[in-house]
Chain A
Amino acid sequence: MTLEKKESTLSWPDGRGYFGAYGGQFVPETLVPALRELELMYESARNDPAFQEEYLRLLNDFAGRPTPLTFAGRLTGHYGRGKVYLKREDLCHTGAHKINNTVGQILLAMRSGKKRIIAETGAGQHGVATATVAAKMGLECCVYMGEEDVARQQLNVRRMEMLGATVVTVRSGSRTLKDATSEAIRDWVSSVEDTFYIIGSVVGPHPYPLMVRDFQSVIGKETSAQIEKAEGKAPDHLLACVGGGSNAIGLFHPFLGTRAIMTGVEAAGEGLDTGRHAATLTKGRPGVLHGSLSYLLQDANGQVQLAHSISAGLDYPGVGPEHSALKDSGRVRYVSVTDAEALEAARLISRLEGIIPALETAHALAYLETLMRETANEDVVVVSLSGRGDKDMETYSAHSV
């Protein structure tokens, strides 16, 4: 297998959907024509001012953008150095950054003329964000969710149902996001002629990693203007959690050409050495799952390993191909924190900042313990506060957070 020549991180992906050596389109032939059609449709929408205007209008009037950039004064005091800002994606409609992407993709679905929407979901945030835009546009919506996640994210299941979506409980394999995604793809192979698949992260076959990145980049673009206004300079550090990696790419991408130090935080679960974790970039090796080549948690025979994280949204053995490329290029560093560290961070931010974060987000916040020790006094650190914690109250209660 020949690896692609390394090119600038800013020009990714190439025409075949490759971010350096990662990405591509590994799908059954049945889906290839639909993906080609989507590529062309997205290319034209990307360059169409009317589409961009409609997208921004929905983000502003419906999704509640722009979101604030909050200075975390008491948290900064706690660490005694640097300045911590929180990019408040938890204040988006539906409670997480996921809506940035579903608003964009539902507009593409409307352009395609397809009447049925499908999606996969882990924590349920993407499922809720998809059910929300499908309801708004009057389209039928079906969301695949693993049985384990249905149990631990009941609130989101109820929200999707109230929004009129059908939630299909997936009982195969790991009964989490991995198998929910496989079932969504199987549905799409069977229904591609009248169904639009809204993928929730920067994963899957080309052009999904590109489209989702573009739609999520609004996070970083707003941050850039807001931090310039607040501090008169670009941020020194950017920090975000990484499951599939959509909120991280959304924050990082507009800053790739700057000097900002970027850190993606994966879920170390019960510990990197226990085998029960979801630290794909830290412990995985390149492989193909769900349509693209990227780092993957797998055994010696190339069978996909089960991920583990207390956070349903990070509980996935794969990761977006652009993150794999950014890891190899060294532009972004990837670290991990455990379930216990994330729970502790959730408690700390709640008490110090009056914000109950999602469990996924708590992983990024937990890494501040390490990161803040490396910062200089004048360093500005922006954390993607990717979602709010209402959905995780049962888990927090069970762990006495």
Chain B
Amino acid sequence: MNRLTTVLSSLRDRRKKALALFLTAGYPEADSTPGLVLSLSAAGADVIEIGMPFSDPLADGPVIQQSSAIALQNGVTIARTLDAIRTIRKTSSVPLVLMGYINPILSYGSDRFFRDAASSGVDGLILPELTLEESVRFKAEISRSGLAQILLVAPTTPEERVIAIDAASSGFLYCVSTTGVTGSAGKGTPDEFLTRVKNCAKRNPVLVGFGISTPEGARHAALLSDGVIIGSALIRRLTEGEAIGSIISWVGSIRDALSTRVPSGI
């Protein structure tokens, strides 16, 4: 069992919700990532997702698009991202998940990438363009590397497909809470959708992402899932130059909101 699976099942056993935070590798500065990961982990993040920047991030909204463009200007590559992971692993065992578009991975060499990621200390992969059908071509390679392959479900995904995606996923199931790109505000409540996903996905913990930006939003999404993923809201704070101390207390407020005991019946 890798660090990701261990941490998520331990949270589940203790009936606690997971908090995953997203960072763009090499943003805001080329060498920012290791320090940020350690601070966020200490502030209460259970999992850190690290986005590998791509020139054409078509699943991302403006906030992450801009952070990716700056990271590329900072000279970030897959090789440098894996260097940062090795630096983090010298002092931390926080579960690390790499998120990225497929083309830089194909260019690096997919088999080599899976092996290097695993040996650098990565626990799982989220590749949003890799649908259930296209993921088949990498299944053997990824499984050999020991990395978790985290697939996504969306509000448009039919029930039988949620079941199939859950069956093909490991680590957790990434539940895209709204029909939109990263950071987009939700259209109404996703309660019915989250309930449907939880009922269909019996194999993996379900983490909800896209458009969650406040402690209240996080708490609400976590009521019907196993945890939340926050990306754009964190990147926006980094972009605005917010002090790390202030970001840490914001993360703490989300952690607290997730830990609040919830009256039954909701």
Contact = CB atoms under 8 A, between A and B. Distances in A.
Contacts of A33: 156-158, 161
B213 interface: no
A291 B131 CA distance: 11
A112 B221 CA distance: 32
B130 A26 contact: yes
Interface stretch (A132-140, A144-152, A181-189, A345-353): A181-189
A43 B130 CA distance: 24
B22 to A, nearest CB: 16
Nearest to B152: A29
Contacts of B108: 301-302
Contacts of B154: 28-30
Interface residues of A, number: 39
B26 to A, nearest CB: 13
B156 A26 contact: no
Point out which of A1, A26, A288, A301 has the most chain B C-beta atoms below 10 A from its C-beta.
A301
Interface in B94-135: 101-108, 110-111, 128-134
Interface string B143-184: 000000001111111100100010000000000100111001
A173 B55 contact: yes
Contacts, number: 118
Given A2-B137, A192-B156, A289 B179 contact: no
Contacts of A286: 106
Interface in B49-107: 54-56, 58-59, 61, 65, 69, 72, 77-78, 101-107
9 contacts: A26-B134, A29-B151, A30-B156, A32-B131, A34-B156, A179-B56, A189-B58, A191-B179, A193-B156
Interface residues on B, range: 35 or more
A209 to B, nearest CB: 15
Interface in A16-63: 16, 24-34
Interface of B: 54-56, 58-59, 61, 65, 69, 72, 77-78, 101-108, 110-111, 128-134, 137-138, 151-158, 161, 165, 176, 179-181, 184
A300 B101 CA distance: 15
A288 B133 contact: no
A28 B128 contact: yes
A90 B111 CA distance: 48
B176 A29 contact: yes
B184 A300 contact: no
B110 A288 contact: no
B61 to A, nearest CB: 8
Contact of A28 (B78, B129, B161): B129
Given A16-B133, A193-B179, A303-B104, A290 B58 contact: yes
A182 B130 CA distance: 17
A25 B77 contact: no
Given A1-B106, A32-B131, A190 B184 contact: yes
Contacts of B176: 28-30
Contacts of A2: 137
A288 B129 CA distance: 9
Interface of A: 1-2, 16, 24-34, 172-173, 178-179, 182, 185-186, 189-193, 286-291, 296, 298, 300-304
B180 A189 contact: yes
A182 B103 contact: no
B159 to A, nearest CB: 11
Give the 6 A-B CB pairs with smallest separation, nearest first. Answer: A302-B107, A302-B104, A30-B154, A190-B180, A26-B129, A303-B55
Contacts of A287: 103, 106-107
Nearest to A304: B55
Nearest to A302: B107
Contact of B181 (A29, A190, A301): A190
Contact of A25 (B131, B138, B179): B131
A304 B55 CA distance: 6
B179 A30 contact: yes
B60 to A, nearest CB: 8
A1 B138 contact: yes
Contacts of B161: 32-33
A219 to B, nearest CB: 30
B158 to A, nearest CB: 6
A289 B184 contact: no
A190 B179 contact: yes
A28 B107 CA distance: 20
Contacts of A26: 102, 129-131, 134
Contact of A288 (B106, B153, B180): B106
B145 to A, nearest CB: 14
A189 B103 contact: no
A304 B103 CA distance: 9
Point out which of B55, B154, B156, B158 has the most chain A C-beta atoms below 10 A from its C-beta.
B55
Given A288-B103, A290-B58, 17 more contacts: A29-B165, A30-B155, A30-B179, A32-B161, A33-B156, A33-B161, A172-B65, A186-B59, A189-B59, A193-B179, A290-B56, A300-B107, A301-B78, A302-B105, A303-B55, A303-B103, A304-B55
